[in-house]
Amino acid sequence: MSALGAQWTGVVQAEDSFARKDHAFVFEPETVIVGSCSVQQLPYASTYVTKKFLSSQTLTEDVAAVWPKLASLTVDGSSLKRTMP
């Protein structure tokens, strides 16, 4: 992750679910933890860190092609279940 002109290597965890927006599914995390710091407890940094983390994630071309076509998307334990129409 890079921010404020610096590069950091570490563990980032995000937790919540997917929601449908603009005809595609998006991940909307309720909890984001960087290292051992829950960014929700940092008043103004939470939105910045969450957006920075999510914007750094990319999809492969084959996944990006079918992502808008998904009928449903659910998380079951550690599995991501996708359903096509």
| pLDDT tens by residue, 39-67 | 888 877 777 777 777 777 787 888 888 88
Asked if residue 57 belongs to a domain, the reply is yes
**Contact between 57 and 48 (Cβ < 8 Å):** no
Asked if residue 59 belongs to a domain, the reply is yes
Indicate the pTM of the whole model.
0.60
Asked if residue 60 belongs to a domain, the reply is yes
Asked if residue 1 belongs to a domain, the reply is no
Rounded Cα–Cα distance for residues 35 and 75 (Å): 23
Rounded Cα–Cα distance for residues 82 and 75 (Å): 9
Asked if residue 3 belongs to a domain, the reply is no
Neighbouring residues of 49: CB distance < 8 A, sequence distance ≥ 6:
3, 32, 34, 39, 42
Q: Count how many domains the chain has.
A: 1
Asked if residue 2 belongs to a domain, the reply is no
Q: Residue 47: which domain range?
A: 10-83
